[in-house]
Amino acid sequence: MRAVRSFAMSALITLSGMAASVPATATALSSSPAVATSDVTFKASDGVVIYGRYYHAASPRALILLFHQAGSSKDEYKTIAPRLAAAGYSALAIDQRSGGDLFGPNQTVQALGHSARYLDAKPDLEAALSFAEKQKLPIILWGSSYSASLVVVVASEHINDIRAMAVFSPGEYFDQSPSMIRSAAAKVTVPFFVTSAKDAKEIDAAKAILAASPSKLKVQYVPTTGGVHGSSTLIASRNPQGAEDNWKAILGFLDQLQLPSPP
């Protein structure tokens, strides 16, 4: 039976030393007892150079691709990605061509000299997916605000290439069609997690998108003690009352994926 689940379960996060292995295309950035990171670059299909940061879990169960919200950059995940790595998930956060310096500099936008429209960033997500496929790990897509909606579109077109997806504050943000994201969600069969701010319109938008999916594992986490727009809901400084409950929800979802144990 297909069902939408709402929960906030406890999750155990194991901290351990992270191996400093770096993909062949990456340049070492830094390493610490908690997580090793690398700067990476790759090209989108139209030749635009995409900048990113790879966070290496010691024994990764999967690779999570992290996409930021409007006016933002990969630094939206500078506190989120290390916690995912500590929980056993390597992560790649990129600077999309539609973004800015909300959390830190967006190198892709800087190189272009301007920020692009939301939909113009779709090739950036697809380039990250192509990069991820070379890492030989199960792939999970993760989006924030406008990129949450782009993730649904990309997932619908690459459903055989991904293991699951998690989207934070998705909506029908694109003028091309008032139901573009719901139409894409109708093709999403992989496990599907969605959450939003503690806002009736956001909650309803997320519910409608999730309802369109035929996935057998669908989870909508509705915040009760706090919640802010996009992936920022996991950042304690931006969501002091609700960040931990949101973390329990997303880590609980990831635990349900039954990913292969690391070697």
Dist CA 71 CA 230 (whole Å) = 12
Which pLDDT score is estimated for 92? 98
Please name each of the domains of the chain with its CATH number: 4-255 (3.40.50.1820)
CB 50 within 8 A of CB 94: yes
Which pLDDT score is estimated for 226? 83
Strand segments, DSSP code E, in the chain are: 4-5, 26-31, 36-43, 49-56, 62-66, 89-95, 139-144, 164-168, 192-195, 218-221
The pTM of this model reads 0.87
Which pLDDT score is estimated for 18? 27
Dist CA 48 CA 124 (whole Å) = 8
Low-confidence ranges of the chain (pLDDT < 70): 1-34, 262-263
Which pLDDT score is estimated for 30? 36
Which residues touch 47 (CB under 8 Å, ≥6 apart)?
none
Dist CA 223 CA 227 (whole Å) = 6
Q: pLDDT tens digits, residue range 135-159?
A: 999 999 999 999 999 999 999 999 9
Which pLDDT score is estimated for 33? 38
Which pLDDT score is estimated for 34? 66
CB 159 within 8 A of CB 187: yes
Provide the mean pLDDT of the chain.
Answer: 88
CB 206 within 8 A of CB 178: no
Find the length of the chain.
Answer: 263
Which pLDDT score is estimated for 3? 44
Which pLDDT score is estimated for 176? 72
